[in-house]
């Protein structure tokens, strides 16, 4: 089984507010985007599990646009580390979205541990004078546990910075061991994000490097699917498709120059390139 995910980040913010959205008015952005990529998702649903991670404001639009026959999955970009409990907390989580709340909206997937989330948590701890990667992973473990308990599948992100490259096994091993501690791994996929390779002008990991990390993750997790989270693009789609231990990719932007953004035609081109033109059903 192949896995293809797209993280829509905050691609809804219009250009006049320093964002990149020129696709649709904000009030209709979620439903418009969903409608425009539905044909692509339906076309490849028999070959790959496809999940789209939306900003929370658009989950209901996506759920409404998704037909009962559609096989692709709606995902949320993160959840809180606590949740409602029978005869316990009934919903006192102001500003926080819980796993059960997004499950009720129609979500089946959640993205946890994305590098931007890790940096945010590490930054908050640093403000309190605490530098402790294990603490970040423990907080993420609580989120993963809540997601699994609510019946959500998880795309759990791990990866090393440039400064951590010479000890990547230690760093990623800790992210896996602590972040997935005592978790049922049957609904977990792991996304590998080489932080040192993300961004304009950064070096690109080759197939050998990605292979050794993916094999390490599979060994450490007992065979969880491994997704390349450094960005599935047209340029690297065939290379990634040919790595046996990589099970899929995470798409961010589809256009990295000129009119930067996420565009439905670019999304379709990436999936076609990754799965192969001869595999169209």
- Domain ranges in the chain? 2-279
Which of the residues in the chain have pLDDT under 70?
277-281
Catalytic residue among 49, 117, 160, 193: 193
For residue 113 the two structure tokens come to 């541990």
The pLDDT, as a whole number, for residue 203 is: 85
The answer to whether the CB of 106 falls within 8 A of the CB of 67 is no
The pLDDT, as a whole number, for residue 278 is: 43
CATH code of the domain made up of 2-279: 3.20.20.70
Q: How far apart are the C-alpha atoms of 60 and 20, rounded to whole Å?
A: 22
Q: At what angle are helices 168-179 and 207-221 packed, to 10 degrees? A: 40
Indicate the pTM of the whole model. Answer: 0.96
Give yes or no: 193 in active site. Answer: yes
Catalytic residue among 114, 117, 143, 160: 114
For residue 52 the two structure tokens come to 């789209």
């Amino acid at each position: 089984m192949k896995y293809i995910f797209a993280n829509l980040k905050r691609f809804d913010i219009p250009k006049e507010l320093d964002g990149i959205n020129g696709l649709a008015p904000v009030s209709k952005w979620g439903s418009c985007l969903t409608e425009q990529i539905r044909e692509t998702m339906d076309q490849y649903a028999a070959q790959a599990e496809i999940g789209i991670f939306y900003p929370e404001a658009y989950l209901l639009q996506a759920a409404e646009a998704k037909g009962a026959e559609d096989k692709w999955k709606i995902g949320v970009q993160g959840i809180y580390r606590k949740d409602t409990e029978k005869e316990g907390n009934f919903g006192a989580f102001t500003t926080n979205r819980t796993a059960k709340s997004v499950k009720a909206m129609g979500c089946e997937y959640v993205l946890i541990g994305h590098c931007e989330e890790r940096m945010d948590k590490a930054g908050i701890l640093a403000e309190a004078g605490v530098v402790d990667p294990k603490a970040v992973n423990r907080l993420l473990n609580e989120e993963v546990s809540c997601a699994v308990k609510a019946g959500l599948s998880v795309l759990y992100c791990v990866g090393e910075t440039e400064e951590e490259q010479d000890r990547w096994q230690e760093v990623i091993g800790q992210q896996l061991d602590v972040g997935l501690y005592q978790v049922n791994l049957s609904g977990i996929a792991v996304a590998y994000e080489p932080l040192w390779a993300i961004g304009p002008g950064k070096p690109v990991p080759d197939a050998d490097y990605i292979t050794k990390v993916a094999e390490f993750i599979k060994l450490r997790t007992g065979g969880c699917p491994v997704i390349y989270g450094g960005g599935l693009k047209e340029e690297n789609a065939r290379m990634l498709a040919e790595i046996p231990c990589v099970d899929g990719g995470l798409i961010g932007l589809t256009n990295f120059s000129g009119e930067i953004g996420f565009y439905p035609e670019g999304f379709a081109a990436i999936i076609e390139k990754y799965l192969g033109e001869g595999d169209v059903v």
